Structure 1
Amino acid sequence: MTLPMCQWLSTERSEDHLVAWSENREWRQYEFRLDVLSLIASLSATSHSRWALCLEDNYSFAVALLALIYSGKTPVLPGHFRPAVLAEQQNEFDALITDLPLSPDCPVLRIPFAPQAMLTVLPEWPQDASVILFTSGSTGKPQRIVKSVSCLELESQWLCGLWGTEFTDARFAATVAPHHMYGLSFAFMLPLSLGLPFATASVKYHEQLRSLAAAYSLVFISSPAFLERLDPTLNTPKLRHVFSAGGPLKHAAARLVERTCGDLPTEIYGTTETGIIAFRRQYQPDGVWTLFGDIAFSPCPDGNTALVSPLVSPSGHFTLSDEIRMRPSDPRHFELLGRKDRIVKIAEQRVSLTEIEQRLCQRDLLSEASVLTVEKRGRVYVAAVLVLSRSGEQFLDSQGQAALLDNLRQTLRSWISPVALPRYWRIVAAIPLNQQGKRSAAELQEMFL
């Protein structure tokens, strides 16, 4: 039903097979193959082995990733396009492929690129091909993860086994980029494995989604950050399937998607390290999660939960950072209770950053809050980034910021210890998000520099 990556450019697909499309044009199989061959020729003239990909255009990403693997080089996916953070990761790659005005301190190959002497035959596909990704860094510095292509292909086979027959003649569109694990698996691997076309540009607004859905039958790859902000007044044609990942979707948001787009979304639970773990559809609030077929949980003596999965290479085991409540009578289903690593130590006391966020958001003065730790002069403090509600904005206008923050501190004092009170505060229009719809840890930290 699916083709492995080494056969995506093969003659098993016709020359005029549609690979990708944008508002202005389409890309066919013969163009895809020629573009990959041309980039292989350009790469062969270089000695650099690790190439970072910072590409906004999803078709260019597909060309670049395949060309690098065929060239025996390693694709590195930094997961962002921020120059300052790229500079910090400079030791992770030797050169950069980009379609953006980035100027890192390394060789850069810009797309569109000047083609070299054209190759006519693809090099042999390396059997040990891999891709380097990074964790989101939501709880610390992003960690480097090596993901084998064989693991990515196995994951695609699982997904196709569950939902592939639903996707016949559909097209893929996404709000998330393929530079993180979720986008790589669902917006890149899945459509190309199935031979289904994907949109070259990310969907940024509901109006764009409605326009695409009016023209095509869509599989939509998105995140809670986008889905929770859908406009219920927009009449969107029914979507073929909606996926969401990056964090649990609120039940009200899941029902909003169903009313607005005609499909109750399938939520995916997974991590960069593990790949996909489980899925659910929220027919009821806080619905339980179902493990994918060849995955199991194993309780650890220390209270943590170990994951046993063939998608975890090479050990097959990984200790999760989430609180899992398994059902003794039904080991395939479980409840997801939240991250354990949102517990930090301040002055030798255990502090739950999640609890502080929840206590803050109980006040009608706020619509959202993000709580983190910052280090100042060798000491660790709690900091809070706030998005005000309408009543909060009115309070700020009438009584000022000092009174507003004092009001919030008084609220927290009833619930948490003095060392857990945020020392630093910022009021913003919106919590910054990365391309995957997750909170951008780097941008949040920068607010307190």
Structure 2
Amino acid sequence: MTQRMCEWLSAGRADEHLVAWSESREWCQRDFRHDVLSLLTHISATSHSRWALCLEDNYSFAVALLAVLYSGHTPVLPGHFRPAVLAGQRDEFDALITDLPLQIDCPILRFPFSADQPLTALPEWPENAVLILFTSGSTGKSQKIIKPVSCLELESQWLCTHWGEQCADARFVATVAPHHMYGLSFAFMLPLTLGRPFAAKRVEYHEQLHSLARENALVLTSSPAFLKRLDMALEPANLRHVFSAGGPLSHDTALRVENICGCRPTEIYGTTESGIVAFRTQHQPEAAWTLFDNLEFSPLADGNIALISPLIPQPDGMILSDKIQLLNADQRQFLLLGRKDRIVKIAEQRISLTEIEQRLCAMDLLSDASVLTLEKQGRLYVAAVLVLSQVGEQLFQVQGQAVLLGQIRGILRDWLSPVSMPRYWRFAPAIPLNQQGKRATAELQEMFL
């Protein structure tokens, strides 16, 4: 039986109903309700209206999110817990709830906590409840997104229609955090809507996954970055279902997941702004994506394609940032052809960050690169983080950084205008990824502070 968010703490679920678990303890419905009421007591004693949630523990996140919503206030999900990111978003929240040793210039409530006299009854569920998320920032500065709870609930109902029966007696584990849209929908909303237990701690290693799967049927919410690292040499971990999002899986990786986890992964395509858009299971290479029911594409005169969805506020739809090739007359199946170029304007010139990245990655001196923009003293500059190949590493060791960068600049001059040339450079052993398996824009930005 599925339940809306306003029903998660109701008497419709028995006091002994298992909500979450970790290696050391379990939390049942009675604990869940008590903990929300206790935190609600603390929140109600303040005048703060926007609460940032920076919680590594998934059960604590669930408690905090519900407590803030029941208080009639707004949860803010920063997406990253790095001090520089939080400082940059400081105008977006009034107070902070955390289980980390963060030092931020604002009032802070820290887990674990207790209330001497917690409230005994929940307030009325707020009408028109919303929460605030931020985009990943992979194409620039993170953008604030106001997400109605009603949209999250509708999305969960769609997911339950597709996979609820398959997940009905399983527990949920995740390698991704609920502070981003994908983790929020699949690792948080879906298990609580279905009334299925979720793991309080994120899975970080293949060995953890195998250990958990020995004890319970599991649904895994993960990312391509984690699934690519699954070790074929380890004993298989038979799972009930695997979800993946954050980027397309290669067909080889999809087969690898099936061999290790006992099921071929379901890939999800969506964005923070749009919510879920489409899904696929790769039974052959480059399998097509299928739109979820109640969604449709609308081709536009300029060649773009608008997504029409009940999950977005724009009645005329929104333009997705990926290139899409429609495959059939009903426009419900399509191929993803990669992201549209990231275009920035510097000194009146349109500059493609994607092109600069591609030029760098084509060099035998480099194995990977990430290009971004930096604002310094009111001016915008191009910057690059480089991962050296074996050839590049040898040149660096023998002739030094200046000679290496000189060769890289020389190659780029054949392709790029002077304004497009990266002004700032950093070297890294690998391009950092966030918990969703995407490039960690905030961490990349911090390399240039």
If the length of structure 2 is used for normalisation, what is the TM-score?
0.93
Given that 2:341 and 2:355 are in contact with CA atoms closer than 8 Å, whether structure 1 keeps it comes out as: no
For residues 52-77 of structure 1, give each alpha carbon's deviation from its aligned partner in whole angstroms, at most 9, with x where no partner exists: 11111100010111111112111111
Moved more, 209-218 or 53-62: 209-218
For residues 347-381 of structure 1, give each alpha carbon's deviation from its aligned partner in whole angstroms, at most 9, with x where no partner exists: 55443322333343344543322122234565544
Q: 1:79 maps to what in 2? A: 79
SS in 2 for 1:430: coil
Q: 1:277 maps to what in 2? A: 277
Aligned pair count reads 449
Given that 1:139 and 1:341 are in contact with CA atoms closer than 8 Å, whether structure 2 keeps it comes out as: no
Q: 2:438 maps to what in 1? A: 438
Given that 2:236 and 2:259 are in contact with CA atoms closer than 8 Å, whether structure 1 keeps it comes out as: no
Q: 2:203 maps to what in 1? A: 203
Moved more, 94-103 or 254-263: 254-263
SS in 1 for 2:439: coil
Q: 1:308 maps to what in 2? A: 308
SS in 2 for 1:178: coil
Given that 1:170 and 1:219 are in contact with CA atoms closer than 8 Å, whether structure 2 keeps it comes out as: yes
Moved more, 193-202 or 348-357: 348-357
Cα displacement (A) at 1:257:
2.0
- Equivalent-residue separation in structure 1 for 2:396 and 2:256 (angstroms): 31
Moved more, 421-430 or 64-73: 421-430
Moved more, 169-178 or 375-384: 375-384
- Quickly say closer, same or farther: Cα 1:79–1:281, change in 2 above 3 A: same
Given that 2:265 and 2:281 are in contact with CA atoms closer than 8 Å, whether structure 1 keeps it comes out as: yes
- Equivalent-residue separation in structure 1 for 2:223 and 2:191 (angstroms): 18
Moved more, 20-29 or 373-382: 373-382
Q: 1:30 maps to what in 2? A: 30
Given that 1:42 and 1:116 are in contact with CA atoms closer than 8 Å, whether structure 2 keeps it comes out as: no
Q: 2:57 maps to what in 1? A: 57
- Equivalent-residue separation in structure 2 for 1:190 and 1:327 (angstroms): 30
- Equivalent-residue separation in structure 2 for 1:143 and 1:123 (angstroms): 32
Q: 1:248 maps to what in 2? A: 248
Q: 1:258 maps to what in 2? A: 258
SS in 2 for 1:166: coil
Q: 1:118 maps to what in 2? A: 118
- Equivalent-residue separation in structure 1 for 2:333 and 2:430 (angstroms): 35
- Equivalent-residue separation in structure 2 for 1:17 and 1:428 (angstroms): 47
Q: Aligned runs of 1:337-416 on 2, under 5 Å?
A: 337-340=337-340, 342-376=342-376, 379-412=379-412, 416=416
SS in 1 for 2:164: helix
- Equivalent-residue separation in structure 2 for 1:13 and 1:314 (angstroms): 36
SS in 1 for 2:246: coil
The share of aligned pairs that are identical, in percent, is: 69
Q: Which amino acid aligns with 1:228?
A: K
Q: Which amino acid aligns with 2:96?
A: L
Q: 2:45 maps to what in 1? A: 45
- Equivalent-residue separation in structure 2 for 1:364 and 1:217 (angstroms): 46
Given that 2:140 and 2:373 are in contact with CA atoms closer than 8 Å, whether structure 1 keeps it comes out as: no
Q: 1:153 maps to what in 2? A: 153
- Equivalent-residue separation in structure 2 for 1:379 and 1:118 (angstroms): 52
Cα displacement (A) at 1:162:
0.8
- Equivalent-residue separation in structure 2 for 1:338 and 1:166 (angstroms): 31
- Equivalent-residue separation in structure 2 for 1:192 and 1:157 (angstroms): 12
Given that 1:39 and 1:67 are in contact with CA atoms closer than 8 Å, whether structure 2 keeps it comes out as: yes
- Quickly say closer, same or farther: Cα 1:388–1:209, change in 2 above 3 A: farther
- Equivalent-residue separation in structure 2 for 1:134 and 1:47 (angstroms): 24
- Equivalent-residue separation in structure 2 for 1:245 and 1:162 (angstroms): 16
Q: Which amino acid aligns with 1:238?
A: N
- Equivalent-residue separation in structure 1 for 2:257 and 2:313 (angstroms): 35
For residues 191-218 of structure 1, give each alpha carbon's deviation from its aligned partner in whole angstroms, at most 9, with x where no partner exists: 0000111111111222222222232221
Given that 1:98 and 1:110 are in contact with CA atoms closer than 8 Å, whether structure 2 keeps it comes out as: yes
Structure 2 unaligned spans of 5+: none
Given that 1:368 and 1:388 are in contact with CA atoms closer than 8 Å, whether structure 2 keeps it comes out as: yes
Q: 2:290 maps to what in 1? A: 290
Moved more, 147-156 or 352-361: 352-361
For residues 280-330 of structure 1, give each alpha carbon's deviation from its aligned partner in whole angstroms, at most 9, with x where no partner exists: 222333322111101111122333221110011364722222222222524
Moved more, 27-36 or 349-358: 349-358
Q: 1:96 maps to what in 2? A: 96
Q: Which amino acid aligns with 2:288?
A: V
Cα displacement (A) at 1:47:
1.7
SS in 2 for 1:102: coil
Is it true that 1:172 corresponds to 2:172 in the alignment? yes
Structure 1 unaligned spans of 5+: none
Moved more, 115-124 or 156-165: 115-124
SS in 1 for 2:331: strand
Given that 1:55 and 1:100 are in contact with CA atoms closer than 8 Å, whether structure 2 keeps it comes out as: yes
SS in 1 for 2:165: helix
If the length of structure 1 is used for normalisation, what is the TM-score?
0.93
Q: 1:215 maps to what in 2? A: 215
Q: Aligned runs of 1:3-22 on 2, under 5 Å?
A: 3-22=3-22
SS in 2 for 1:331: coil
- Equivalent-residue separation in structure 2 for 1:404 and 1:251 (angstroms): 36
Moved more, 391-400 or 8-17: 391-400
Cα displacement (A) at 1:11:
1.9
- Equivalent-residue separation in structure 2 for 1:319 and 1:348 (angstroms): 24
Moved more, 55-64 or 361-370: 361-370
Moved more, 326-335 or 104-113: 326-335
Given that 1:133 and 1:144 are in contact with CA atoms closer than 8 Å, whether structure 2 keeps it comes out as: yes
